[in-house]
Structure 1
Amino acid sequence: MLRPTSFDISTGTVLGVAPPRRPTPTGSPDPLDALDAAVLPGLTRPPCLVSFSGGLDSSLVLAVAVRAARREGLPDPVPVTWRFAGAPRADESDWQERVIRALGVDGSWQILRADDELDLVGPVARRLLHRYGVVHPVNLHLHLPLAELAGGGSLLTGGGGDQILAGWRRPPATSLRARLWWLRHDLRTRRGPVEQFGWLRPAVARDVQRAHRAEERAEPRLLRHRIAWHARRRDLLLTCSALSRMAGDHQAAAIQPLLDEGFLAALAHCGGDRRAVGRDALLAEIVGDALPAEVIAPRRKARFREVFLREPTREFVRSWDGTGADTDLVDPERLRDLWSRWPIPGGTASLVQQLWLAAYPAERAGEVGPAGPPTGSDTGVEVRH
């Protein structure tokens, strides 16, 4: 399993792009057909669970999987959704209900409910940290109960959609109002290195900010080059490696259809010489009228900081004694000062997990193996019929 380095964890960034790979022959020039082929291995390995948030990417994967299953006479995939107490900006229940109704899979829909359980160092994260150590991304523990439920079967996710379908280069604004909004947004979010990475040594903060901005600028403009570039980024490579290992430990296959080589090749083949193409337009081209309109209808992007920064993290950062961090990179006094205020910077999330694990290591190796299905102490499970 690929792991984040001390630099990745300390800086809260995962930078770097692997060398180009030899192009993969396209199985189908049609992206939707290629996506259909990408979900089939999961459908033939039941139970086939789909990590379904109600967002665009997971909705697309679920809809394609439902269509393919019914065409092939296979069991419907099982959508599994988290619902979060006390996190209104993460609430996507309205779109979840719309998509589920449109696809007709409400009878198998499973809803997992969490309060503090998914905190960065809450009970679910602790099981993952004691088993694997710190992994990337910091919210991977959200999928641990899903991997357990998928034991012996498969787990499909919408991983990679933000990068492959959207990227960082936004399309030009179509109105004066939109342009003014983006101008104000850019002015508000433009920060110096010490302000952006205030817990790092100043020289390290400057280096990290320069490297981060350089990687953003390096994102290719042509769609086909952007797709290939993002698919090679360490960010996604680490994510896929950790998810595959976690699912494999429960005899399940983790599948990311939006990162399937056949789909990526078909998407690049279909209009890949364009530059300013956004996610909404790209999804409309991929899907056409083959899926219900609810699947790709534009919607608000959910924000999940409130899900992962809860009372367990608050208690830990308040009690942290300043030891355990890589002091070549991190200034402990600056970090303690930042952690004295709430909410803490999102860039320090990996440090929270690393320092918590150093303070609370697993007592015995026999206690950290893969657990059984989630129990009531971890989450409540509501099965919709």
Structure 2
Amino acid sequence: MTQFRRLDAVEATFGLPRQIVEAPDGFSSHSSESPRQALEGLLEPALAHTEPCYVLFSGGRDSSAVLAVAVAVARRLGADDPHPVTYVHPDAPGSDEGEWQRLVLQHLGIGRRTVLEFRGEQAWLGDAATESLGANGLLWPPSVHLHGAIYKHLDAGASLVSGEGGDLAIEGRRITPLVQAVRALRPRASLRGLTELVRGDRNRAIQGLADACGWLTATGRQRFLQLYAPDAEPLRWDRSLYSAAFSRIAVLAGSNFRAQAQAFGLLPLNPLEEPRFVAALMRQGGMLGMGSRTDMMRSLFADLLPDAVVARTSKAYFNETRWSETERAFAREWEGAGVDPEYNDHDLLRREWLSEAPFTMSAFHLHAAWLASHGLPLAPDGS
């Protein structure tokens, strides 16, 4: 039976894992590999031993980088090129990455790919989501339930590679602005950066997250701020990377992504979140780091991708693919089942679901409410 990891009862009240670190077994940062060598080593088995080797390819920086490395490895091994899988939402223009996809595929010389066209199949209460909810219960992140719309089109037994985790691993950290200011000989900016380092901004971020969850009751907001009060982010770049890459948030997301793929008979690999790659990044970045996200992308992948891709700052927007009339009809008819009223104001939560652009964190509560309203268990396997 496929094993999913679940939020505990307190976390499920708010739909968010706690900010703690879950260290991987046997982890060592004393890697002699470069990050590229680590990525190539992680990808080799998937490319050499399965056909096809699918790569989930959105056209974003992380999936483009993983695809580019996979192509280079496959051609070095004499294996078949990886098979990009792209999903498009014609009714959601904010999600369109077509031009970026074409730029990357043309640069890499790839002609074969699978393009899946969705018109509501990846909504929060679409067929893929409700089928997964019924089979697997309440999962975090809620988007795990949507993946079946993709996986059912892929061959069981094939490898499935994604760029998940890249936005945590390949990123500037707390110390980065100060390091960049010092290196640029900007003393005033350095002083401002030092002030930010001393003060930190994690508390501000948690306050902002509580503000965005406008459905919290006064008691709920107070409990939320207590539960998710952050520890100080490590100042060293390598230690900060470790705390982010192996946070409970990252670990649960990666674990459930893999479990859902395995439920469809696929062999999942998210190389950018693998301990082997993180260890190599920590060694190369050391105390001061490797610069901004764009600096890191250039350092790691400039020889494989056009600079326009590694330096891009735009991102696709998928919220409009998630909320349809089905979700809003459910919200209007919902009688309050499945969501703790002590911490979550039902009327305000309903208003959020019916808004033009509901906050993503409310989707977890939507799924809890749907399960309760249909008399279904939160965890069919008893976990």
Q: What's the TM-score, normalizing by structure 2? A: 0.82
Give the Å deviation of 1:20: 4.2
Mapped pair 1:254 → 2:257: no
Partner in structure 1 of residue 19 of structure 2: 16
**Aligned to 1:135, what secondary structure does the other structure show?**
coil
1:185-224 to 2 correspondences below 5 Å: 195-209=211-225, 211-212=227-228, 214-215=229-230, 218-224=232-238
Alpha-carbon separation, structure 2, partners of 1:5 and 1:150 = 34
- Are residues 14 and 100 of structure 1, via their aligned partners in 2, closer, same or farther at CA, if it must alter by over 3 Å? same
Give the Å deviation of 1:32: 0.8
Aligned length: 353
Partner in structure 1 of residue 130 of structure 2: 126
Alpha-carbon separation, structure 1, partners of 2:306 and 2:211 = 45
1:22-171 to 2 correspondences below 5 Å: 22-24=26-28, 28-43=32-47, 44-106=49-111, 108-148=112-152, 149-166=154-171, 169=174, 171=176
Give the Å deviation of 1:200: 2.3
Alpha-carbon separation, structure 2, partners of 1:283 and 1:193 = 28
Q: Which residue identity does 1:206 align to in structure 2?
A: Q
Partner in structure 2 of residue 264 of structure 1: 278
Partner in structure 1 of residue 254 of structure 2: 240
Partner in structure 1 of residue 327 of structure 2: 313
Alpha-carbon separation, structure 2, partners of 1:304 and 1:40 = 31
Alpha-carbon separation, structure 1, partners of 2:251 and 2:270 = 12
Give the Å deviation of 1:117: 1.2
For the Cα contact (< 8 Å) 1:139–1:308, is it kept in 2?
no
Give the Å deviation of 1:353: 1.1
Alpha-carbon separation, structure 2, partners of 1:340 and 1:304 = 17
Mapped pair 1:322 → 2:336: yes
Q: Which residue identity does 2:21 align to in structure 1?
A: A
Give the Å deviation of 1:329: 2.8
Partner in structure 2 of residue 377 of structure 1: none
Q: Which has the higher contact order (CA 8 A, sep 6+)?
A: 1
Between stretches 191-200 and 56-65, larger displacement belongs to 191-200
Alpha-carbon separation, structure 1, partners of 2:278 and 2:131 = 34
**Aligned to 2:348, what secondary structure does the other structure show?**
helix
**Aligned to 2:88, what secondary structure does the other structure show?**
strand
For the Cα contact (< 8 Å) 2:124–2:146, is it kept in 1?
no
For the Cα contact (< 8 Å) 2:173–2:240, is it kept in 1?
no
Alpha-carbon separation, structure 2, partners of 1:321 and 1:116 = 25
Q: What's the TM-score, normalizing by structure 1? A: 0.82
**Structure 1 unaligned regions, length at least 5:** 180-187, 369-385
Cα offsets for 1:232-270 (capped at 9, x unmatched): 211121112212222222322110100122211111111
- Are residues 264 and 345 of structure 1, via their aligned partners in 2, closer, same or farther at CA, if it must alter by over 3 Å? closer
Cα offsets for 1:89-122 (capped at 9, x unmatched): 222111111111111112x211111121111111
**Aligned to 1:120, what secondary structure does the other structure show?**
coil
Alpha-carbon separation, structure 2, partners of 1:42 and 1:305 = 32
For the Cα contact (< 8 Å) 2:7–2:16, is it kept in 1?
no
Alpha-carbon separation, structure 2, partners of 1:167 and 1:360 = 44
For the Cα contact (< 8 Å) 1:194–1:202, is it kept in 2?
no
Partner in structure 1 of residue 7 of structure 2: 4
Cα offsets for 1:184-206 (capped at 9, x unmatched): xxxx9996787433322312212
Give the Å deviation of 1:298: 1.7
CA-atom RMSD, angstroms? 3.1
Q: Which residue identity does 1:37 align to in structure 2?
A: G
**Aligned to 2:151, what secondary structure does the other structure show?**
helix
- Are residues 31 and 112 of structure 1, via their aligned partners in 2, closer, same or farther at CA, if it must alter by over 3 Å? same
**Structure 2 unaligned regions, length at least 5:** 193-203
% same residue: 32
Alpha-carbon separation, structure 1, partners of 2:210 and 2:263 = 41
Give the Å deviation of 1:361: 5.2
Cα offsets for 1:61-87 (capped at 9, x unmatched): 111111101110112111111111332
